[in-house]
Homo-oligomer: A and B are copies of this chain.
Protein backbone atom coordinates (compact mmCIF):
# COMPACT_ATOMS: atom_id res chain seq x y z
CA UNK A 1 0.00 0.00 0.00
CA UNK A 2 1.15 3.53 -0.80
CA UNK A 3 0.92 6.91 0.89
CA UNK A 4 1.49 9.91 -1.36
CA UNK A 5 1.57 13.47 -0.03
CA UNK A 6 0.47 15.58 -3.00
CA UNK A 7 0.65 18.98 -1.34
CA UNK A 8 1.56 20.82 1.85
CA UNK A 9 5.12 19.51 2.14
CA UNK A 10 7.94 22.02 1.89
CA UNK A 11 5.39 24.77 1.47
CA UNK A 12 2.47 26.36 3.26
CA UNK A 13 -0.99 25.33 2.13
CA UNK A 14 -2.73 23.00 -0.34
CA UNK A 15 -2.50 20.06 2.03
CA UNK A 16 -3.56 16.77 0.48
CA UNK A 17 -2.40 13.19 1.00
CA UNK A 18 -3.49 10.08 -0.87
CA UNK A 19 -3.62 6.73 0.90
CA UNK A 20 -3.81 3.98 -1.67
CA UNK A 21 -4.30 0.31 -0.89
CA UNK A 22 -5.58 -2.67 -2.87
CA UNK A 23 -9.23 -1.97 -1.94
CA UNK A 24 -9.11 1.63 -3.07
CA UNK A 25 -7.80 5.11 -2.41
CA UNK A 26 -8.73 7.79 0.12
CA UNK A 27 -7.64 11.41 0.33
CA UNK A 28 -6.92 13.13 3.62
CA UNK A 29 -7.75 16.82 3.09
CA UNK A 30 -7.80 18.72 -0.22
CA UNK A 31 -6.60 22.27 0.30
CA UNK A 32 -5.46 25.22 -1.73
CA UNK A 33 -2.64 27.71 -1.35
CA UNK A 34 -2.39 31.41 -2.04
CA UNK A 35 0.12 32.50 -4.66
CA UNK A 36 3.36 34.22 -3.71
CA UNK A 37 4.86 37.31 -5.31
CA UNK A 38 6.41 35.18 -8.04
CA UNK A 39 3.00 34.33 -9.46
CA UNK A 40 1.55 37.67 -10.53
CA UNK A 41 -2.16 37.65 -11.29
CA UNK A 42 -2.73 34.13 -10.02
CA UNK A 43 -5.82 33.72 -7.85
CA UNK A 44 -4.93 30.50 -6.13
CA UNK A 45 -2.86 27.36 -6.33
CA UNK A 46 -4.13 23.79 -6.24
CA UNK A 47 -2.33 20.49 -5.76
CA UNK A 48 -1.44 18.50 -8.85
CA UNK A 49 -4.37 16.22 -9.75
CA UNK A 50 -2.40 14.04 -12.19
CA UNK A 51 -2.00 11.12 -9.79
CA UNK A 52 -5.68 11.30 -8.89
CA UNK A 53 -6.67 11.30 -12.53
CA UNK A 54 -4.54 8.23 -13.19
CA UNK A 55 -6.34 6.39 -10.40
CA UNK A 56 -9.69 8.16 -10.54
CA UNK A 57 -11.75 4.97 -10.55
CA UNK A 58 -10.14 3.85 -7.29
CA UNK A 59 -11.03 6.97 -5.25
CA UNK A 60 -13.37 5.97 -2.40
CA UNK A 61 -13.68 9.21 -0.47
CA UNK A 62 -12.14 12.34 1.01
CA UNK A 63 -11.58 12.82 4.75
CA UNK A 64 -11.45 16.42 5.98
CA UNK A 65 -9.73 17.32 9.24
CA UNK A 66 -11.12 20.89 9.49
CA UNK A 67 -12.63 23.71 7.45
CA UNK A 68 -9.65 25.94 6.66
CA UNK A 69 -9.02 26.78 2.99
CA UNK A 70 -5.59 25.14 3.04
CA UNK A 71 -7.32 21.86 3.91
CA UNK A 72 -10.65 22.05 2.06
CA UNK A 73 -10.23 24.73 -0.61
CA UNK A 74 -9.57 22.30 -3.46
CA UNK A 75 -12.82 20.40 -2.84
CA UNK A 76 -14.92 22.27 -5.46
CA UNK A 77 -12.22 21.72 -8.09
CA UNK A 78 -11.93 18.05 -7.13
CA UNK A 79 -15.67 17.44 -7.16
CA UNK A 80 -15.94 18.97 -10.62
CA UNK A 81 -13.73 16.13 -11.83
CA UNK A 82 -14.28 13.27 -9.41
CA UNK A 83 -17.47 11.97 -7.90
CA UNK A 84 -16.69 10.75 -4.38
CA UNK A 85 -18.09 11.13 -0.84
CA UNK A 86 -16.65 13.78 1.47
CA UNK A 87 -16.45 13.08 5.21
CA UNK A 88 -16.09 15.81 7.83
CA UNK A 89 -17.51 17.29 11.01
CA UNK A 90 -20.54 19.55 10.94
CA UNK A 91 -18.79 22.92 10.71
CA UNK A 92 -16.25 21.64 8.21
CA UNK A 93 -19.01 20.44 5.90
CA UNK A 94 -21.02 23.62 6.50
CA UNK A 95 -18.14 25.69 5.21
CA UNK A 96 -17.56 23.31 2.29
CA UNK A 97 -21.24 23.43 1.39
CA UNK A 98 -21.24 27.20 1.23
CA UNK A 99 -18.16 27.03 -1.01
CA UNK A 100 -19.79 24.47 -3.28
CA UNK A 101 -22.85 26.67 -3.66
CA UNK A 102 -20.63 29.46 -4.95
CA UNK A 103 -19.38 27.05 -7.58
CA UNK A 104 -22.89 25.90 -8.42
CA UNK A 105 -22.16 22.33 -7.30
CA UNK A 106 -25.34 20.99 -5.72
CA UNK A 107 -25.12 17.22 -5.81
CA UNK A 108 -22.08 16.67 -3.61
CA UNK A 109 -22.16 13.64 -1.33
CA UNK A 110 -21.29 15.22 2.05
CA UNK A 111 -21.30 12.85 5.02
CA UNK A 112 -21.23 14.32 8.50
CA UNK A 113 -19.24 12.48 11.14
CA UNK A 114 -18.56 13.54 14.73
CA UNK A 115 -15.32 13.31 16.67
CA UNK A 116 -15.24 9.93 18.43
CA UNK A 117 -17.25 8.18 15.70
CA UNK A 118 -15.89 5.26 13.74
CA UNK A 119 -16.97 4.45 10.20
CA UNK A 120 -15.85 2.26 7.32
CA UNK A 121 -15.73 2.53 3.56
CA UNK A 122 -13.63 1.23 0.70
CA UNK A 123 -11.74 -1.20 2.90
CA UNK A 124 -10.69 1.53 5.34
CA UNK A 125 -11.79 1.91 8.92
CA UNK A 126 -11.79 5.52 10.06
CA UNK A 127 -12.05 7.29 13.37
CA UNK A 128 -12.20 11.05 13.93
CA UNK A 129 -10.41 12.16 17.10
CA UNK A 130 -11.08 15.59 18.59
CA UNK A 131 -8.22 18.11 18.52
CA UNK A 132 -7.98 21.84 19.24
CA UNK A 133 -7.26 24.35 16.53
CA UNK A 134 -8.15 27.89 15.49
CA UNK A 135 -11.48 26.70 14.10
CA UNK A 136 -14.13 24.53 15.77
CA UNK A 137 -14.79 20.97 14.62
CA UNK A 138 -11.15 20.09 14.02
CA UNK A 139 -10.23 16.42 14.19
CA UNK A 140 -7.30 14.11 13.71
CA UNK A 141 -7.89 11.10 11.48
CA UNK A 142 -7.08 7.57 12.58
CA UNK A 143 -7.10 5.39 9.49
CA UNK A 144 -6.95 1.61 9.77
CA UNK A 145 -5.64 0.11 6.56
CA UNK A 146 -4.65 -3.32 5.31
CA UNK A 147 -1.14 -2.87 6.69
CA UNK A 148 -1.78 -0.98 9.91
CA UNK A 149 -2.96 2.15 11.67
CA UNK A 150 -2.15 5.62 10.33
CA UNK A 151 -2.77 8.81 12.27
CA UNK A 152 -3.06 12.21 10.58
CA UNK A 153 -3.03 15.00 13.13
CA UNK A 154 -4.49 17.62 10.80
CA UNK A 155 -3.74 21.06 12.20
CA UNK A 156 -3.81 20.86 15.98
CA UNK A 157 -2.75 22.34 19.26
CA UNK A 158 -3.22 21.22 22.84
CA UNK A 159 -5.68 23.56 24.56
CA UNK A 160 -6.83 22.14 27.89
CA UNK A 161 -9.15 25.11 28.47
CA UNK A 162 -10.76 25.57 25.05
CA UNK A 163 -13.39 28.23 24.38
CA UNK A 164 -15.84 25.74 22.97
CA UNK A 165 -16.07 21.98 22.83
CA UNK A 166 -13.66 19.56 24.42
CA UNK A 167 -9.90 19.59 24.88
CA UNK A 168 -7.92 17.48 22.45
CA UNK A 169 -8.72 13.81 23.15
CA UNK A 170 -5.37 12.82 24.62
CA UNK A 171 -6.88 9.66 26.11
CA UNK A 172 -7.86 8.44 22.65
CA UNK A 173 -4.40 9.33 21.32
CA UNK A 174 -2.90 7.21 24.10
CA UNK A 175 -5.25 4.34 23.25
CA UNK A 176 -4.24 4.53 19.58
CA UNK A 177 -0.62 4.47 20.73
CA UNK A 178 -1.32 1.30 22.72
CA UNK A 179 -3.06 -0.26 19.69
CA UNK A 180 0.09 0.53 17.70
CA UNK A 181 0.49 3.37 15.21
CA UNK A 182 2.37 2.41 12.07
CA UNK A 183 2.86 5.97 10.83
CA UNK A 184 2.02 9.40 12.17
CA UNK A 185 1.58 12.36 9.84
CA UNK A 186 2.04 15.29 12.20
CA UNK A 187 1.48 19.05 11.87
CA UNK A 188 4.89 20.79 11.68
CA UNK A 189 3.82 24.45 11.33
CA UNK A 190 5.15 25.54 14.71
CA UNK A 191 7.99 23.06 15.07
CA UNK A 192 10.56 25.86 15.38
CA UNK A 193 8.81 27.20 18.45
CA UNK A 194 9.92 25.94 21.88
CA UNK A 195 7.46 25.34 24.71
CA UNK A 196 3.67 25.35 24.60
CA UNK A 197 1.27 27.60 22.72
CA UNK A 198 -0.95 29.41 25.26
CA UNK A 199 -4.67 28.71 25.49
CA UNK A 200 -7.02 30.75 23.34
CA UNK A 201 -8.41 32.15 26.63
CA UNK A 202 -5.39 34.46 26.89
CA UNK A 203 -6.84 36.52 24.03
CA UNK A 204 -10.13 36.89 25.90
CA UNK A 205 -8.29 38.49 28.83
CA UNK A 206 -6.64 41.04 26.53
CA UNK A 207 -9.94 41.78 24.81
CA UNK A 208 -11.50 42.45 28.20
CA UNK A 209 -8.75 44.92 29.07
CA UNK A 210 -9.21 46.70 25.75
CA UNK A 211 -12.98 46.86 26.15
CA UNK A 212 -12.52 48.23 29.68
CA UNK A 213 -10.20 51.03 28.62
CA UNK A 214 -11.57 52.24 25.30
CA UNK A 215 -14.23 54.97 25.16
CA UNK A 216 -14.95 55.08 21.42
CA UNK A 217 -15.76 52.50 18.84
CA UNK A 218 -13.90 49.17 18.88
CA UNK A 219 -13.03 47.32 15.71
CA UNK A 220 -11.69 43.78 15.87
CA UNK A 221 -10.12 42.16 12.81
CA UNK A 222 -9.72 38.40 12.81
CA UNK A 223 -9.65 35.43 10.48
CA UNK A 224 -13.23 34.91 9.40
CA UNK A 225 -13.04 31.23 10.31
CA UNK A 226 -11.72 31.81 13.82
CA UNK A 227 -15.09 31.23 15.47
CA UNK A 228 -13.56 30.87 18.94
CA UNK A 229 -11.99 34.30 18.70
CA UNK A 230 -15.22 35.73 17.36
CA UNK A 231 -17.00 34.15 20.32
CA UNK A 232 -14.58 35.85 22.68
CA UNK A 233 -15.24 39.21 21.06
CA UNK A 234 -18.96 38.57 21.51
CA UNK A 235 -18.40 37.69 25.19
CA UNK A 236 -16.42 40.89 25.76
CA UNK A 237 -19.13 42.87 23.99
CA UNK A 238 -21.79 41.28 26.17
CA UNK A 239 -19.87 42.06 29.33
CA UNK A 240 -19.26 45.69 28.32
CA UNK A 241 -22.72 46.34 26.84
CA UNK A 242 -21.72 46.76 23.24
CA UNK A 243 -23.63 45.66 20.18
CA UNK A 244 -21.89 43.69 17.43
CA UNK A 245 -21.75 44.60 13.75
CA UNK A 246 -20.17 42.21 11.27
CA UNK A 247 -18.49 43.35 8.06
CA UNK A 248 -16.40 41.75 5.33
CA UNK A 249 -17.92 39.18 2.99
CA UNK A 250 -16.25 36.06 4.44
CA UNK A 251 -16.80 37.24 8.03
CA UNK A 252 -20.51 37.76 7.41
CA UNK A 253 -20.79 34.34 5.79
CA UNK A 254 -18.83 32.44 8.43
CA UNK A 255 -20.64 34.10 11.32
CA UNK A 256 -23.91 33.11 9.71
CA UNK A 257 -22.84 29.49 9.16
CA UNK A 258 -21.40 29.17 12.66
CA UNK A 259 -24.58 30.59 14.22
CA UNK A 260 -26.82 28.31 12.17
CA UNK A 261 -24.82 25.23 13.10
CA UNK A 262 -24.65 26.16 16.77
CA UNK A 263 -20.93 26.87 16.94
CA UNK A 264 -21.32 30.57 17.74
CA UNK A 265 -23.50 31.98 20.50
CA UNK A 266 -24.43 35.43 19.24
CA UNK A 267 -28.03 36.43 20.05
CA UNK A 268 -29.97 38.40 17.43
CA UNK A 269 -30.54 41.15 19.99
CA UNK A 270 -26.83 41.89 20.08
CA UNK A 271 -26.47 42.26 16.33
CA UNK A 272 -26.47 45.49 14.35
CA UNK A 273 -26.89 45.60 10.63
CA UNK A 274 -23.93 47.15 8.82
CA UNK A 275 -26.16 49.84 7.37
CA UNK A 276 -27.25 50.94 10.85
CA UNK A 277 -23.77 51.41 12.24
CA UNK A 278 -23.93 55.18 11.98
CA UNK A 279 -26.96 55.21 14.28
CA UNK A 280 -25.20 53.39 17.15
CA UNK A 281 -23.15 55.54 19.55
CA UNK A 282 -19.44 54.66 19.26
CA UNK A 283 -19.16 53.47 22.87
CA UNK A 284 -21.99 50.98 22.31
CA UNK A 285 -20.48 49.24 19.30
CA UNK A 286 -17.89 46.67 18.33
CA UNK A 287 -17.29 45.91 14.68
CA UNK A 288 -16.03 42.47 13.67
CA UNK A 289 -14.18 42.60 10.40
CA UNK A 290 -11.90 40.85 7.94
CA UNK A 291 -8.55 42.24 6.84
CA UNK A 292 -6.28 41.03 9.62
CA UNK A 293 -3.70 40.12 6.95
CA UNK A 294 -3.63 43.62 5.47
CA UNK A 295 -5.33 42.43 2.28
CA UNK A 296 -5.75 45.62 0.25
CA UNK A 297 -9.41 45.04 -0.59
CA UNK A 298 -10.56 43.78 2.81
CA UNK A 299 -12.76 45.86 5.10
CA UNK A 300 -10.01 46.78 7.57
CA UNK A 301 -7.68 48.14 4.88
CA UNK A 302 -10.50 50.24 3.52
CA UNK A 303 -11.32 51.53 7.00
CA UNK A 304 -7.63 52.33 7.48
CA UNK A 305 -7.36 54.20 4.20
CA UNK A 306 -10.66 56.01 4.74
CA UNK A 307 -12.39 54.40 1.79
CA UNK A 308 -14.88 52.15 3.58
CA UNK A 309 -18.45 52.82 2.64
CA UNK A 310 -19.95 52.92 6.13
CA UNK A 311 -17.21 52.65 8.76
CA UNK A 312 -14.84 55.39 9.86
CA UNK A 313 -12.28 55.35 12.58
CA UNK A 314 -10.97 58.29 14.60
CA UNK A 315 -9.00 59.39 17.66
CA UNK A 316 -11.27 57.93 20.36
CA UNK A 317 -11.52 54.57 18.63
CA UNK A 318 -9.50 51.39 18.96
CA UNK A 319 -8.62 48.63 16.53
CA UNK A 320 -7.56 45.14 17.59
CA UNK A 321 -5.74 43.11 14.95
CA UNK A 322 -6.34 39.70 16.47
CA UNK A 323 -4.06 37.71 14.16
CA UNK A 324 -0.41 37.33 13.28
CA UNK A 325 0.78 38.22 9.77
CA UNK A 326 1.26 35.11 7.64
CA UNK A 327 4.78 35.21 6.09
CA UNK A 328 4.61 37.46 3.05
CA UNK A 329 1.84 39.64 4.51
CA UNK A 330 4.04 41.65 6.91
CA UNK A 331 4.18 44.76 4.77
CA UNK A 332 0.45 44.85 4.11
CA UNK A 333 -0.35 44.47 7.81
CA UNK A 334 2.17 47.15 8.68
CA UNK A 335 0.64 49.51 6.13
CA UNK A 336 -2.78 48.96 7.72
CA UNK A 337 -1.43 49.65 11.23
CA UNK A 338 0.30 52.82 10.00
CA UNK A 339 -2.82 54.10 8.30
CA UNK A 340 -5.02 53.39 11.33
CA UNK A 341 -2.56 55.25 13.57
CA UNK A 342 -2.51 58.16 11.12
CA UNK A 343 -6.25 58.47 11.81
CA UNK A 344 -5.46 58.67 15.50
CA UNK A 345 -6.87 55.29 16.46
CA UNK A 346 -5.29 53.18 19.15
CA UNK A 347 -4.13 49.94 17.57
CA UNK A 348 -3.57 46.74 19.51
CA UNK A 349 -1.55 44.10 17.73
CA UNK A 350 0.67 41.11 18.26
CA UNK A 351 3.34 40.72 19.59
CA UNK A 352 3.02 44.05 21.44
CA UNK A 353 -0.19 42.86 23.06
CA UNK A 354 -1.38 39.25 23.46
CA UNK A 355 -4.26 39.60 21.00
CA UNK A 356 -3.37 36.42 19.15
CA UNK A 357 -2.29 32.89 19.96
CA UNK A 358 -1.32 30.32 17.39
CA UNK A 359 -3.51 27.36 16.50
CA UNK A 360 -0.55 25.04 15.89
CA UNK A 361 1.32 22.86 18.38
CA UNK A 362 4.75 24.03 19.54
CA UNK A 363 7.60 21.67 20.39
CA UNK A 364 6.38 20.47 23.79
CA UNK A 365 2.96 19.69 22.34
CA UNK A 366 4.59 17.83 19.47
CA UNK A 367 6.56 15.82 22.03
CA UNK A 368 3.35 15.02 23.89
CA UNK A 369 1.67 13.71 20.72
CA UNK A 370 4.72 11.66 19.73
CA UNK A 371 4.92 10.22 23.25
CA UNK A 372 1.26 9.22 23.31
CA UNK A 373 1.06 7.85 19.77
CA UNK A 374 4.46 6.13 19.84
CA UNK A 375 4.43 5.79 16.04
CA UNK A 376 6.79 3.42 14.27
CA UNK A 377 7.27 6.04 11.53
CA UNK A 378 6.93 9.79 11.57
CA UNK A 379 6.14 11.83 8.46
CA UNK A 380 6.26 15.55 9.35
CA UNK A 381 3.63 17.36 7.27
CA UNK A 382 2.15 20.88 6.92
CA UNK A 383 5.08 23.25 6.66
CA UNK A 384 8.06 24.52 4.78
CA UNK A 385 11.07 22.24 4.63
CA UNK A 386 12.63 23.98 7.66
CA UNK A 387 9.52 23.19 9.72
CA UNK A 388 9.48 19.54 8.65
CA UNK A 389 13.17 19.29 9.61
CA UNK A 390 12.60 20.79 13.05
CA UNK A 391 9.74 18.38 13.68
CA UNK A 392 12.20 15.64 12.77
CA UNK A 393 14.81 17.08 15.19
CA UNK A 394 12.23 17.02 17.99
CA UNK A 395 11.33 13.41 17.20
CA UNK A 396 14.98 12.40 17.21
CA UNK A 397 15.42 14.06 20.60
CA UNK A 398 12.63 11.72 21.79
CA UNK A 399 14.58 8.71 20.55
CA UNK A 400 12.83 8.00 17.24
CA UNK A 401 15.67 6.81 15.00
CA UNK A 402 16.49 8.82 11.90
CA UNK A 403 15.62 6.00 9.50
CA UNK A 404 12.05 5.96 10.78
CA UNK A 405 11.48 9.64 10.04
CA UNK A 406 10.57 10.55 6.47
CA UNK A 407 11.11 14.19 5.60
CA UNK A 408 9.50 14.27 2.17
CA UNK A 409 8.53 16.62 -0.61
CA UNK A 410 5.23 16.65 -2.48
CA UNK A 411 4.86 13.70 -4.81
CA UNK A 412 7.11 11.43 -2.77
CA UNK A 413 5.63 7.94 -2.50
CA UNK A 414 5.97 5.78 0.59
CA UNK A 415 5.36 2.05 0.33
CA UNK A 416 4.23 0.26 3.50
CA UNK A 417 4.41 -3.53 3.62
CA UNK A 418 2.36 -5.84 5.76
CA UNK A 419 5.45 -6.65 7.84
CA UNK A 420 5.48 -3.00 8.94
CA UNK A 421 8.41 -1.97 6.78
CA UNK A 422 8.29 1.33 4.91
CA UNK A 423 10.45 2.70 2.12
CA UNK A 424 10.42 5.41 -0.49
CA UNK A 425 9.68 4.35 -4.02
CA UNK A 426 9.56 6.41 -7.20
CA UNK A 427 7.76 9.78 -7.09
CA UNK A 428 4.46 10.68 -8.70
CA UNK A 429 3.88 13.94 -10.64
CA UNK A 430 3.64 16.83 -8.20
CA UNK A 431 3.59 20.18 -9.91
CA UNK A 432 0.72 22.46 -9.13
CA UNK A 433 -2.35 23.82 -10.80
CA UNK A 434 -2.94 27.52 -10.76
CA UNK A 435 -6.30 29.19 -10.99
CA UNK A 436 -5.93 32.28 -13.11
CA UNK A 437 -9.19 34.07 -13.58
CA UNK A 438 -12.43 32.13 -13.13
CA UNK A 439 -12.39 28.64 -14.50
CA UNK A 440 -9.08 28.29 -16.26
CA UNK A 441 -6.53 26.09 -14.60
CA UNK A 442 -3.14 25.64 -16.13
CA UNK A 443 0.43 25.16 -15.08
CA UNK A 444 2.06 27.19 -17.78
CA UNK A 445 5.35 28.55 -16.53
CA UNK A 446 5.75 30.53 -19.76
CA UNK A 447 2.83 32.81 -18.96
CA UNK A 448 4.24 33.48 -15.47
CA UNK A 449 7.65 34.30 -16.89
CA UNK A 450 6.09 36.66 -19.43
CA UNK A 451 4.20 38.45 -16.68
CA UNK A 452 7.34 38.86 -14.62
CA UNK A 453 9.25 40.34 -17.54
CA UNK A 454 6.31 42.63 -18.35
CA UNK A 455 6.15 43.70 -14.70
CA UNK A 456 9.81 44.51 -14.33
CA UNK A 457 10.83 45.70 -17.77
CA UNK A 458 7.62 46.52 -19.60
CA UNK A 459 6.81 46.01 -23.25
CA UNK A 460 8.04 47.64 -26.44
CA UNK A 461 6.11 47.09 -29.65
CA UNK A 462 7.37 47.85 -33.16
CA UNK A 463 5.01 47.90 -36.12
CA UNK A 464 6.71 47.83 -39.51
CA UNK A 465 4.97 47.84 -42.86
CA UNK A 466 6.95 45.73 -45.27
CA UNK A 467 6.71 45.35 -49.02
CA UNK A 468 5.98 41.65 -49.31
CA UNK A 469 7.92 41.36 -52.59
CA UNK A 470 11.14 43.11 -51.69
CA UNK A 471 11.14 42.95 -47.92
CA UNK A 472 11.70 46.72 -47.88
CA UNK A 473 10.26 48.97 -45.21
CA UNK A 474 7.28 51.05 -46.35
CA UNK A 475 7.02 54.38 -44.52
CA UNK A 476 8.37 54.69 -41.00
CA UNK A 477 7.98 52.03 -38.31
CA UNK A 478 5.76 52.88 -35.33
CA UNK A 479 6.78 52.13 -31.78
CA UNK A 480 4.56 51.86 -28.72
CA UNK A 481 5.63 51.06 -25.18
CA UNK A 482 3.71 50.10 -22.06
CA UNK A 483 5.19 49.80 -18.56
CA UNK A 484 8.62 50.58 -19.95
CA UNK A 485 9.95 54.05 -19.15
CA UNK A 486 8.14 57.34 -18.98
CA UNK A 487 8.10 58.53 -22.62
CA UNK A 488 8.51 62.15 -21.44
CA UNK A 489 11.59 61.30 -19.45
CA UNK A 490 13.05 59.13 -22.20
CA UNK A 491 14.78 61.78 -24.21
CA UNK A 492 14.81 60.86 -27.91
CA UNK A 493 14.15 57.21 -27.17
CA UNK A 494 11.24 56.94 -29.58
CA UNK A 495 13.12 58.63 -32.43
CA UNK A 496 16.23 56.56 -31.69
CA UNK A 497 14.25 53.32 -31.76
CA UNK A 498 12.61 54.19 -35.07
CA UNK A 499 16.06 54.94 -36.44
CA UNK A 500 17.44 51.60 -35.18
CA UNK A 501 14.57 49.60 -36.66
CA UNK A 502 14.77 51.45 -39.99
CA UNK A 503 18.49 50.73 -40.18
CA UNK A 504 17.92 47.05 -39.40
CA UNK A 505 15.28 46.77 -42.11
CA UNK A 506 17.43 48.55 -44.68
CA UNK A 507 20.16 46.04 -43.92
CA UNK A 508 17.85 43.02 -44.19
CA UNK A 509 16.29 44.35 -47.40
CA UNK A 510 19.73 44.81 -48.95
CA UNK A 511 20.47 41.21 -48.02
CA UNK A 512 17.12 40.28 -49.63
CA UNK A 513 15.82 38.66 -46.47
CA UNK A 514 12.08 38.01 -46.69
CA UNK A 515 11.84 35.45 -43.91
CA UNK A 516 9.77 37.31 -41.35
CA UNK A 517 11.01 35.20 -38.44
CA UNK A 518 14.54 36.27 -39.24
CA UNK A 519 13.48 39.91 -39.70
CA UNK A 520 11.84 39.89 -36.29
CA UNK A 521 14.88 38.33 -34.66
CA UNK A 522 17.16 40.98 -36.08
CA UNK A 523 14.84 43.79 -34.98
CA UNK A 524 14.62 42.28 -31.52
CA UNK A 525 18.39 41.92 -31.23
CA UNK A 526 19.25 45.42 -32.44
CA UNK A 527 16.55 47.09 -30.40
CA UNK A 528 17.40 45.14 -27.23
CA UNK A 529 20.97 46.39 -27.28
CA UNK A 530 19.93 49.95 -28.13
CA UNK A 531 17.36 50.10 -25.30
CA UNK A 532 19.59 48.34 -22.77
CA UNK A 533 22.38 50.79 -23.47
CA UNK A 534 20.11 53.82 -23.22
CA UNK A 535 17.88 52.77 -20.31
CA UNK A 536 19.54 49.77 -18.67
CA UNK A 537 16.24 47.92 -19.10
CA UNK A 538 15.32 44.96 -21.26
CA UNK A 539 11.65 45.22 -22.15
CA UNK A 540 9.82 42.46 -23.92
CA UNK A 541 10.16 43.45 -27.58
CA UNK A 542 7.35 42.50 -29.93
CA UNK A 543 8.04 43.24 -33.61
CA UNK A 544 4.86 43.18 -35.70
CA UNK A 545 5.26 42.97 -39.44
CA UNK A 546 2.39 44.04 -41.67
CA UNK A 547 2.63 43.04 -45.30
CA UNK A 548 1.52 45.74 -47.75
Q: Which residues of A contact B (CB under 8 A)?
A: 10, 36-37, 40-41, 192, 327-328, 330-331, 334, 337-339, 341-342, 347, 352, 384-386, 389, 436-442, 444, 446-447, 450-459, 461, 463, 465, 478, 480, 482-486, 488-490, 535-537, 540, 542, 544, 546, 548
Contacts and interface: CB of A to CB of B under 8 A. Distances in A.
A490 B440 contact: yes
- Copies of this chain, tallied across the complex: 2
A489 to B, nearest CB: 4
Contact of A338 (B384, B457, B478, B535): B384
Contacts of A440: 485-486, 489-490, 535-536
B328 A450 contact: no
Given A342-B385, A385-B342, A451 B442 contact: no
Given A36-B331, A463-B544, 12 more contacts: A41-B456, A327-B330, A327-B334, A334-B386, A342-B385, A436-B535, A437-B536, A444-B486, A447-B458, A453-B483, A454-B483, A546-B546
14 contacts: A41-B458, A338-B386, A341-B389, A436-B535, A436-B537, A438-B535, A438-B536, A442-B485, A451-B483, A454-B455, A461-B544, A480-B542, A544-B544, A546-B546
A455 B41 contact: yes
A463 B482 CA distance: 16
Contacts of A347: 386
Contacts of A537: 41, 436-437
A452 B451 CA distance: 9
Nearest to A482: B450
Nearest to A342: B385
Contact of A480 (B330, B455, B544): B544
A306 to B, nearest CB: 14
A136 to B, nearest CB: 30
A534 to B, nearest CB: 8
A289 to B, nearest CB: 19
**What are the nearest 5 A-B pairs in CB distance?**
A455-B455, A438-B536, A437-B536, A41-B456, A454-B454
A455 B40 contact: yes
Given A458-B454, A546-B463, A482 B540 contact: yes
A38 to B, nearest CB: 9
Nearest to A489: B442
A489 B331 CA distance: 34
A450 B483 contact: yes
A384 B339 CA distance: 10
A168 to B, nearest CB: 26
Contacts of A480: 542, 544
B456 A334 contact: no
Contacts of A328: 330-331
Given A331-B327, A450-B458, A485 B437 contact: yes
Given A40-B456, A436-B485, A341 B544 contact: no
Nearest to A537: B437
A475 B307 CA distance: 48
Contacts of A192: 352
Contacts of A482: 450, 454, 459, 540, 542
Nearest to A478: B544
